[in-house]
Amino acid sequence: MTRSIVRTILSAALLAAAAGAASAQDFGPIPETTTELAPGLHLLQGGGGNVLACAGDGGLLLIDADVEQMADKLLAATAALQAGPVALAVATHWHFDHVGGFGALAAAGAVLAAHESVRDWMAAPQHLDVLDHDVPASPAAALPQICIGDTLTLRWGDETIGLRHAAGHTGGDLVVRLHRADVVHAGDLFFNCGYPYIDTAHGGSIDGMIDGVEYVLGLCGPGTRIVPGHGPVATPDELRTYLGILRDYRRIVAAEKAAGRSLEETVAARPAAALDERWGGAMFPPEAFIEMIWLSL
Ligand SMILES: [Zn+2]
């Protein structure tokens, strides 16, 4: 399989996965489901990344905002939780399946926030490595007004929310910790459904992913629930399993590279076939994961 064919398949795979449906355009039948994680804290799941909604006296705070095509359903789901517009929406990173609702949320009155790199990336056309996927610039009204540096603490209703910058999945990830609920939103540092995407064109790397996941695990007690960017809510043990996969795969690809094998030879050799059998079918296929690790080593 040539790389261009792999990339064509992957573009469709990402979009279909982001949609949670066979067709990228087919968001129509996808509901925005709401699950209570704690009093005043809900998980919203629709067509893109996982969203958290935290109630506060002045309105809801959202962590992430799904894909643009789900914006009407996202707004309806938030209105069912708390009357009035969403007050503040914070992005875990700049990808379209996490900030897609930003324009609609801002039009409805929300203030938008993200790591300081996110506004720059959203404001101009971007290209995603490996996927060969072009991302158009976002309209000015959908850009974050609050640009966060390394850390920020928010008091929101009864909740204390700690935001911390990480550079792993992209160079501008935010890990979001909700202290009272004992919940951490790890963004796309954690794909709880298979091999992750690593945005090597925008500061992401396998070593950054490993560091970011180690940081998240350091926040966890035995009862902490971890919201991944994609997939079901996880326990610390499940995140530890995922960390083991990242570490093992990094070591295997690094050894192939050090032995002088090309990317194509490494992909063809299937050096981690046992891992691939378990984890390579649901999200990104092994050849893509190998390329992303390779590019970042
Ligand atoms: Zn992402």
Q: Top-level CATH class of 3-296? A: alpha beta
Residue type, 92: T
Classified as helix, coil or strand, 183 is strand
pLDDT digits (tens, 9 = 90+) for 42-95: 999 998 999 999 999 999 999 999 999 899 999 999 999 999 999 999 999 999
Per-residue pLDDT tens over the stretch 161-193: 999 999 999 999 999 999 999 999 999 999 998
CA distance 66 to 46: 7
- Mode of pairing for the β-strands spanning 133-135 and 146-148: unpaired
CA distances, 158 to each of 39, 73, 74, 202 (Å): 10, 27, 23, 35
Q: What is the pTM of this model?
A: 0.92
Tokens in use for 166? 């990480």
Average pLDDT, the chain: 91
Number of helices followed by number of strands (H, E) in the chain = 10, 14
Distance 169 CA to ligand 1 centre (A): 7
Q: Which residues surround the ion ligand 1 when the cut-off is CB under 5 Å?
A: 95, 188
The rounded distance, in Å, linking the Cα atoms of 103 and 69 is 11
Between the CA of 197 and the centroid of ligand 1 the distance, in Å, is 7
Between CA 220 and CA 291, with CA 185 as vertex, the angle to 5 degrees is 100
Say which residue the tokens 């076939």 belong to.
273
Centre of ligand 1 from the C-alpha of residue 97, in Å: 7
157 CA from centroid of ligand 1 (Å): 28
> How many angstroms is it from 91 CA to the middle of ligand 1?
10
The CA 62 to ligand 1 mean position distance, Å, reads 17
Q: What are the residue ranges spanned by the domains of the chain?
A: 3-296
* Bridge-based pairing state of the strands 133-135 and 61-63: unpaired
